[in-house]
Structure 1
Amino acid sequence: KMNSAMSEEPDALSVVNQLRDLAADPLNRRAIVQDQGCLPGLILFLDHPNPQVVHSALLALRYLAECRVNREKMKSELGMMLSLQNVIQKTTTPGETKLLASEVYDILQSSNMSDMDNVNEMNYRRRKAQFFLGSTNKRAKTVVLHIDGLDDSSRRNLCEEALLKIKGVISFTFQMAVQRCVVRIRSDLKAEALATAIASTKVMKAQQVVKSESGEEMLVPFQDTPVEVEQNTDLPEYLPEDESPTKEQDKAVSRVGSHPEGAASWLSTAANFLSRSFYW
């Protein structure tokens, strides 16, 4: 019994990672949520024993929730809110994963409230999340990066891997058209750590996007002195060191991005995998 569970694990991880990569592209977000199998599958992944699968599923949900049209359906999907609460309240959940789960919960919870209720609910949720996280959790902050060289899906994957290794990164969203990445980090993490991680890819360089007093956006370069980056030990890496995505996979991902119907056929494959795995 144990062996069969072990052998299924890479499948679960590769499926959830592909869903995460598809969800990263705004063109695919509505199709994924409309699909019969994907949301229920992601909800089941939230209860997966591998913390890496859980984190990847949350990143996918965070991307999907960016699309306002999706929020109501996501919120009403059977088990969604309960599973998110379980992740937040489970004592074994890594800190960054808890923050990400409570962020997704907040977005969905506030999808149909009036503004005032919305603010109260968000504050209540945040206090609750901080209670579960303990006093070590500082408030999160958002850093907007402009990344020179972020121009295709393979570069995005490289960037994603670099950011996932940093302890203190909660979530990130790519805006490929403008070569930007919006990163949510714990407030005790220096933005320079992100720049160092991105520079370590050797093919990309980050600058911070800041607003001047007049409201204009400016690009501020980081100092060239690399800062010490604390590695994220809570989560295993997405890919083992000796394994890198093949050219074929890159092509597949970029094809999906440019043709939503490509996403649809991939989604049906994912849904088949999910239904086989979970026997619903």
Structure 2
Amino acid sequence: DKTVLQFLAYSLDSEDNEITEASLKTIELLVHNNRNHNILRSTFGVSEALKATSEREGLDDVLKSLAQELIMKLEDAPAFHTRYRSMKLNSEQSQPIPRKLSSKVYSFHIFGLNEDTRKNVESAVIRIRGVISVIIDTGHQRCVVRVMENITPQILTEHIAKETKLEARLILRNKFRQEVLVDLGKSENGGGDNGTEDANLPEYLPEEESPVKEKALYSFGRLRTSAASWVRTATSLFQNSFYW
């Protein structure tokens, strides 16, 4: 992500040595992966920021040395990267293409979620193996979680309750596109698919079908006879009402 790289380059100019050190070490981790070399070199400001950091007055010599080392690694990257791409092509030809893992997004309403409990909820969720990202909205007491497809919403709600003592309910939409809160703790033994929008909706009274009255049925033959009778009546009326 070039936006992240540009932010790291911007952070290198910070007057706080801890921020500069953290930015350098982050870039160092990216440099260790050879596939990142081209994007690091092509992102505007990264090489320039590293050079300025290596020459900055008053900066710790260790940080200057690290910046210079990163510059040298990026400058030597093309030849190695070309060799790496050749090795990668040969490897891809001999190995089957791995299956891409899919993810799911779940939205929860967490009772008691506020600025005081936000950190606890966030920490509890991100510790679950298979969680990809977490978005917290304390204003609406919402928590949106992206997880691997093997993680069920029950796992998330149970872990939140265990770690934070807060009640989380899954947000679904019914057939009228209205949001409903589903208590997964009470619906574990119930039937139905959790992925459907009509899951765990309130029960409605059964619709009693009123008996069909015989008078309500009108056969096509009777309708045709009635129409013929109506035409004869209208014809007779015209004949009796006018003089010819």
Q: TM-score, structure 2 length as denominator?
A: 0.39
Q: Which has the higher contact order (CA 8 A, sep 6+)?
A: 1
Between structures 1 and 2, the one with greater helix share:
1
TM score, norm. by length of structure 1: 0.35
Structure with larger Rg: 2
